[in-house]
Structure 1
Amino acid sequence: MTQNTSITGLQLKKETEILKDQLTIPFIYFHAYTPADFSLDQGQGVVYTHARINEGQGYDPKTGIFTVSVPGLYLFTVQYCVYASTNAYFAIVHQGTRIQPSFTQYVTSNFATFSMQVFVRAAMSNQIWVESYHAKTQLSTCFFGVENSFSGALIHM
């Protein structure tokens, strides 16, 4: 009986290790910055041309779109800077639906930086991006555009 108990214990240990490996959450996260275009039309996606990090390769710096490769709960953030007396209307978009809008009108200082964030439960191949939702949205180029950024991370499967 002791030998059977040892074998059963070893089998349970092996099965536990296999389950732990299967439950490991992969690292999926990105941080992109510097838009290709600082003056945007209504419905135009913001294409951040530089990716400081792109673990999982989900962000495409040519299109500005993040494509989900692992389904789960994600957190997305956007930071943008505008010059005084300009308007900015942005939204985080999931599958064509604005899920987190943000706008500023006629900032009175030289420039101001704003941010927004949203949690999204996303399925495989879903796409998330940042979009201007008003004509003549204007970003500033202060600090060389580095403060204009789009980030995302898988936080739970």
Structure 2
Amino acid sequence: MTGLLQLLLLVSMTVASEPSCPACSKYDYEEKVLERMIRMEFAFEKVLKENKAVSKTVEQDLMLIKEENERLHATVDALKDQQEQAERKLVSLMEEVERNQSSTLEKIVSDSNNTLEQTIAAFNDIKDQIATQLVYFHARSPKTSSLSTGEVIVYTAVETNKGNGYSTTTGKFTAPVRGLYLFFMHTCTPTNKYTYLQILKEGSVLIASEYYAKATSTCSSSQAFVQLDAGETVWVQCSTSSHLYEGLPYRWTSFGGALIHN
């Protein structure tokens, strides 16, 4: 269309430029007309070549557009296939979830119950570990009433011995567990006699007592707090030769103690 417009414009310009020449011969006129027609033919061929080149470019562009269109269609089809596959998988998954929902809930409940039971058991274990263990003893009636210096008093009658810490063989208490203990010794002294007793831990004096019964037999008591590790021992020992008395009910020369905190 552009080439045709150029051709018409060229013809119009040629006709418009035709000179008015009454004096020119017929031969000159025809020669000039022929020359103009040849120029017009060349111009026309040039326009045709340009049109062909443009047409070829348009065809190439159309071919590229067609190929791109086909590629886009292929991409759209692939996306549609992927969407359909995803929808089918989703439907299948939802069906599977629905089928397994009951069993899953049952498993969750079962697992939760097991976890709760394990937690309770662990709590009970910890509670047992932190609870103060019962350890206490009370022994009376010394093996002998006349004591020499440095002699360990062996109390032969055991009233109670929770934890089996006290030994009637050695007269010593051995701590079964680590903790804070309270010990006491109750000492009865005969008339006109002295008693010199000590409570010792691993040979170190915790507390000592000295008593003289002048008018009548008399009893006295001493207490001591001490921190013990498991396996450490505590006992009552005579620091200087002494005499002990035990007669009336409950007027006992005795040794006892208890774990009060661990």
TM-score relative to the length of structure 2: 0.54
1:6 Cα deviation from its structure 2 partner:
8.0
1:143 Cα deviation from its structure 2 partner:
2.5
1:62 Cα deviation from its structure 2 partner:
1.3
State the alpha-carbon separation in 2 of the partners of residues 18 and 145 from structure 1: 41
Greater RCO (CA < 8 Å, at least 6 residues apart):
1
**Contact 1:47 1:62 survives alignment (8 Å):** yes
State the alpha-carbon separation in 2 of the partners of residues 144 and 138 from structure 1: 19
State the alpha-carbon separation in 2 of the partners of residues 113 and 21 from structure 1: 40
1:85 Cα deviation from its structure 2 partner:
1.4
Would you tell me which structure has more strand in proportion to its own residues? 1
Q: Which whole-Å deviations, capped at 9, do the CAs of 1:64-105 have from their partners, x for residues lacking one?
A: 000111110011011010012111100001000111101113
Q: Which whole-Å deviations, capped at 9, do the CAs of 1:33-64 have from their partners, x for residues lacking one?
A: 00001110111000000101111111001110
Q: Which residue of 2 aligns with 1:123?
A: 229
Q: Which residue of 2 aligns with 1:108?
A: 214
Structure 2: state its 5+ residue gaps: 1-109
One-letter amino acid of the structure 2 residue matched with residue 152 of structure 1: G
Pairing 1:142–2:239 present: no
Written as runs of structure 1 = structure 2, the 5 A alignment for 1:53-64 is 53-64=160-171
Q: Which residue of 1 aligns with 2:79?
A: none
Share of identical aligned residues, percent? 32
Cα RMSD between the aligned structures? 2.3
1:22 Cα deviation from its structure 2 partner:
1.7
Written as runs of structure 1 = structure 2, the 5 A alignment for 1:1-157 is 12-105=119-212, 107-134=213-240, 136-143=241-248, 147-157=252-262
**Contact 2:141 2:156 survives alignment (8 Å):** yes
One-letter amino acid of the structure 1 residue matched with residue 223 of structure 2: Q
1:145 Cα deviation from its structure 2 partner:
8.3
Would you tell me which structure has more helix in proportion to its own residues? 2
Relative to structure 1, is the Cα distance of residues 14 and 56 closer, same or farther in structure 2, using a 3 angstrom cutoff?
Answer: closer
The count of corresponding residues between Structure 1 and Structure 2 is 155
TM-score relative to the length of structure 1: 0.88
Relative to structure 1, is the Cα distance of residues 7 and 52 closer, same or farther in structure 2, using a 3 angstrom cutoff?
Answer: closer
One-letter amino acid of the structure 1 residue matched with residue 245 of structure 2: S
State the alpha-carbon separation in 2 of the partners of residues 119 and 43 from structure 1: 22
